[in-house]
Structure 1
Amino acid sequence: MVVRRVREHGITRLTLDSPHNRNALSARLVQELYEALAAAADDPGTRAVLLTHTGNTFCAGADLSEAGAGGAAPLGLVRLMRAVVELPKPVVAAVTGHVRAGGLGLLGACDISVAGEGSSFAFTEARLGLAPAVISIPLLPRLQPGAAARYYLTGERFDAAEAARIGLITVAGEPGEVLPAVLDGLRAASPQGLAESKRLVTAGTLRAFDRDTDALAALSARLFASDEAREGVTAFLERRDPVWAR
């Protein structure tokens, strides 16, 4: 099991627990997380979901070691992100490590996110011959346009303070200090109030899923199958510079 689940005081904590690959979005992790979210949605004792992680990485993005990464994977990630957005209960992310590429899409789908001082973020796709395709569905409505252009194109790393400034996360602060007040606030709200309030703030993102999924999933699959992406992914796995960076 790579997603651990426990419920305490109305909060279901889902922990990404695949440190050997930095909690990458393997087919197994995506499926287990999807199933855990569905279980939380059906659990009357769950008022909100807290998404966290083991190790020094919240999520490293796609598991590039898996075959067929350009096939079903984009649609699998869309399904997972949409499940987070559609869940009738708030999803809160607690980040105390690094987030890369597709992991940013998972983070951006959450309703509230808190990241500590040791966190870092980067859209690394362009450096691999790819693009932040399907993850743009929940992210672009959040991000400042100028910041999206800069970080999509350069792949630069940035910290939690910058992530909060550009709209990627809600709060830059240590989760242990920030989350108690957030979770107490969610416990104080009624299930109906939470569900309908969340529906208001996610309506535009869900319309974007309806509008853009097919085109962006096709773009992702096409890029993964390209010669440049094969070189970029191979270079990454071999820990060398791709040919265009030499």
Structure 2
Amino acid sequence: QAILDKALQEGKSYLAEFEASEVLAAYGLPVVPSKLVTTAENAEKAAHTVGFPLVMKVMSADVVHKSDAGGVILNINSPEEAAQAFKQIIDNVKKYQPDAKIEGILMRQMIPDGEEVILGLKRDVSFGGVVMFGLGGIFVEVVKDIAFRVAPLSKEESADMIKDIKGAPLLFGMRNQPARDVTALQESIQRLSQLAEECPQIKELDINPMIVLEENKGAFIADARIIL
């Protein structure tokens, strides 16, 4: 609540990944260790603390498509590489969008491969907080394979929400593909439901993607944003 209230007092209507992750972590959602740095020297010092391999990405409300701007670098494996990546990202973004206001560079530990899903919430005038869940990638973009529920959600409703989508077999295991940690995913949906109930300041929240690992290995948020 304090993070959201402070943002509103400062006139912000948008929280990018770093600030959004602080809100999500406060509700027990599975964020990955990260740090926001503003110099190459700080990036070099912070690298070991965050952990390897790293992804580094530009934090700027002005840069909508970070990858197109050259604002994302993956698989960084040393402090020296982190310092170089910082300089490269700043240079790329300034060339791509000279007037962009850069808040810093986010350093985050990379997440192992898994099944990508999306989670979100929207504030509806009639129903209040509405929670959204679906598979990521082509499933959300083309097939529109998404389920919605009005918060708050019970444990059973969270489980049903996962089963409702057409792509659910990909999470439960099929054709020699491993089952994913559906329990961790279900817990995340419930925590998001709680956040929807307790934080009316949030108009919209997107977690895209969350990476769901194999059974008993968890699920982790790779990117998120909040609109106030």
Q: Same fold (TM over 0.5)?
A: no
> Structure 2 length as normaliser, TM-score?
0.28
In proportion to residue count, which structure has more helix?
A: 1
> Structure 1 length as normaliser, TM-score?
0.26
In proportion to residue count, which structure has more strand?
A: 2
Higher relative contact order (CA 8 A, sep 6+): 2
